A and B are shown apart, each in its own frame.
Chain A
Amino acid sequence: MNVVKRSEIDISEKKPASEVVLRLRGITKVFGSLVANNDISLELKSGEVLALLGENGAGKTTLMNILFGHYIADSGSIEVFGRPIQQGSPHAAIELGIGMVHQHFTLADNLSVLDNVMLGTEPLWWFSSNRRAGRLKLEQLGERFGLRVKPNARVAELSIGERQRVEILKALYRNAQILILDEPTAVLTPQETDTFFETLKKLVSGGLSLIFISHKMQEVLAISDRVAVLNEGRLVSELKTADASETELAQSMIGRSIELPERKTLKAGKPILKLKSITVMPEDGRSALSSVSLDICAREIVGIAGVSGNGQSTIADLITGLVEPRSGTLELHGEVVNNFSPRNMLQKKVGRIPEDRHSQGLIGDMTLAENSISECYQDPQFSSYGWQNKLNCQSFAENIVSKFDVRGYSPNSPVRLLSGGNMQKLILGRVLSGNPQLILANQPGRGLDVGAAAYVHEQLLAARENGAAILLISEDLEELLQIADRIAVIHRGRLSESYPRESISISQLGLLMTGQQKKSITNNHAIEADAS
């Protein structure tokens, strides 16, 4: 009980608004030849939301990892509540009231919510653990900040949004005064993001100071009090959000202006892919599909929107030959496919941009060159009589590297050194060099900064002009509305009809994603159609 009381006092204790709670001075961090942070000085005031804006690789996460003790800065100092912090120890950071919600959640899936939250909060060598008090405190915090989760649920059973709540609760449970949120909205749906912002407001009114890391301008403008922009490891500007404009921020974040890819109006060609009432059973952790039908034609991008886990990955697995339908048929170029294997699909000119670059796209410890031929290594130009043709492979990779602007490393370096954007470019190069007639692009822009995402979109649009049919699966509705010709929504394994991009809005898509019935929305359509 004692524990609970103290925390309440800690959290509700309000600091005068102008007090500086965190001060970074001249932080520099070098990884090999890369200067990740270059002489960065920042201040965080009590009760404020400071947004840290920057492209991927600008050094935001590195800076926060230094602050939280995962890395040690090469030079510079950190003060929390006026006291210098011992660098390189997350424990010291926690003690001083810093909490961090990592971009990739640091939760153990097989343990309960309470276990995940309580770890490290009690003396390690104690004979028992006061779980009742822990559960009570967790429930009280949940109530206070509107972050309700079941303490006994296994983390593996929780949705992404709920897992994020657990991460925040973890920090609150440790009486965090300063909360660092690293790309918190990257994994959330629009509706979840709204709830999340509500939570942030409650946290601030509860006396916390927040650092919000993001590369999404609208969010930064919506939630923050002050913005600090990083570019290539340097702090390039720092201003009040009220004084900031979107274009100005974008300019300083990217250091150049970005043009949105141009989208030509094309007439769709003959159908390339036809799914006819396909049903897939839920197995091996896959979500099911029930009676999914969809046509995709040449020179057309069809988007599938939906909250992750509603069956879109199963559609992706189906088209890449990883799963076989229980019933229904899949036709490619007018022929029914009976042999569902990845190799057969590749031979039928299906290109694949997988959802998870790291686990399904590339092999981190193998080189760029090896990865670039990993889907076509049996091709006579790369292997003959069981021997690899290293020279051809090398020049193939060099071609991709120069044509698709994969930066930073030679074809003989391991792929894991590449940044996310460059990995995606390599995959894009690998797919497009095979001149695919059908491209499956599963979350191609996820985790990419504006520049890299625009590049990917540009390339997909170019492939469309060259006559490819593209299936674009995405949770990013803006991405879908930007480049797709038609958009369908998947919910609980059922795919809606597809709507032309002109006839549907973000909010309508958002409603369909949550499983609201289509009727009311199609009615709106009719009205809109009438009006026009």
Chain B
Amino acid sequence: METSIAWLEIFLNASFWVASVRIATPLIFGTLGEVICERAGVLNLGIEGIMTIGAMAGWMAVYQGAGLWSGLFFAAACGGIFGLLHAMLTVPLGLSQHVTGIGITLLATSLTSYVYRLILPEVNSPPRIQAFEPLEIPGLSSIPLIGEALFNQSPLTYFAFISVVVVSYVLYRTPFGLAIQMVGENPAAAEAQGVDVTVIRTVAVVCGSAFMAVGGAFLTMSAFNAFFFNMINGRGWICIALVVFASWRPGKALLGAFLFAAFDAYQMRLQQLVGTEIPYQIFLMMPYVLSILALIVMSRRVGYPQALMIPYRKGER
């Protein structure tokens, strides 16, 4: 009887909501980035590697003496460079987007380890940095439960929320956003209306990849304060699924990321509650099982960008 109430009480605990928002942050960035790429018709499976690059680059820059925000910018730039590589191979050259993306992930993760060892050859435990401090928003943060969860977070979390709004605006309200949608739906139409498909797709992939890298950087610069190998731990792949869940919409991406994060935060607390009666792996599995179920429900009627994964070659018969 006691436990049956306890599993509900988790929801009343502010720390659960705080954790959910924190776990959601890198997923929001990653999913937004992937939404931008896929809306332009380019699948970016390099996301896992690009997030790793971002995590390492941001942290290393700060460790080497850069400021936090310039470190973040450096991370985004590094992500953008790998995005550019992905775009070069898949857009003008029209290579398979799957294979290129997986290649980028392998290259980026290995290169990260290599550079890490190159710069810090004799370190056993990774050095910590002075990371982003939670920023209390006066007034709002004193609202019970919500205030603590939403208004006492890392500046990067606020940045994630702002990014959702900005990306939505750009995608739906600006000529550039319309061009992105059009090259993802019907590149031949975009071409016929004087839009350069190659340029739009490349810019979209670079911007999207920069967002992914910022998502990775959140982990080292706000959550863990240090870089570990394998710290991305499949978050990139979760973002790929969240994009489908979100039907390629930034707003829904926010919702999806938060739902997944809440499952994750909940299972951690449930584990402690239940103890050792049930193997903990079952709980670890839970968010993934639930996201698969959510995907099945949600993706019955999704409208894929029609030209997703189809290379566009000008003037081909």
Contacts and interface: CB of A to CB of B under 8 A. Distances in A.
Interface of A: 31, 68, 70-71, 89-91, 94-95, 100, 102, 106-111, 115-116, 118-129, 131, 170
Interface string B286-309: 000000000000000001011000
B175 A126 contact: yes
A94 B178 CA distance: 19
Contact of B189 (A70, A95, A108): A108
Contacts, number: 87
Most buried by B among A89, A111, A119, A128: A119
Contacts of B317: 31
Given A107-B186, A108-B185, A120 B195 contact: yes
11 contacts: A90-B192, A90-B193, A94-B193, A95-B194, A108-B306, A109-B186, A115-B181, A116-B189, A119-B175, A120-B190, A128-B173
A128 B174 contact: yes
Given A70-B315, A128-B173, A111 B190 contact: no
Contacts of A131: 173
A118 B173 CA distance: 12
Interface of B: 173-176, 178-179, 181-182, 185-186, 188-196, 303, 305-306, 314-315, 317
B194 A94 contact: yes
Contacts of B306: 108-110
A123 B175 contact: yes
A106 B178 CA distance: 15
A107 B190 CA distance: 9
Contacts of B186: 106-109
B179 A119 contact: yes
B192 A124 contact: no
Contacts of A90: 191-194
Contacts of A70: 191-192, 314-315
A119 B195 contact: yes
B185 A109 contact: yes
Contacts of A115: 178, 181-182
A31 B194 CA distance: 24
A131 B174 CA distance: 9
Contacts of A106: 186, 188-189, 192-193
Contacts of B303: 110
Nearest to A92: B194
Nearest to B200: A124
Nearest to A107: B189
Most buried by B among A90, A108, A125: A108
Contacts of A120: 175, 179, 190, 193-195
Contacts of B182: 108, 111, 115-116, 119
A71 B179 contact: no
Nearest to B248: A110
Contacts of A129: 173-175, 178
Contacts of A123: 175
B175 A124 contact: yes
A107 B181 CA distance: 12
Contacts of A31: 317
Contacts of B189: 106-108, 116, 119
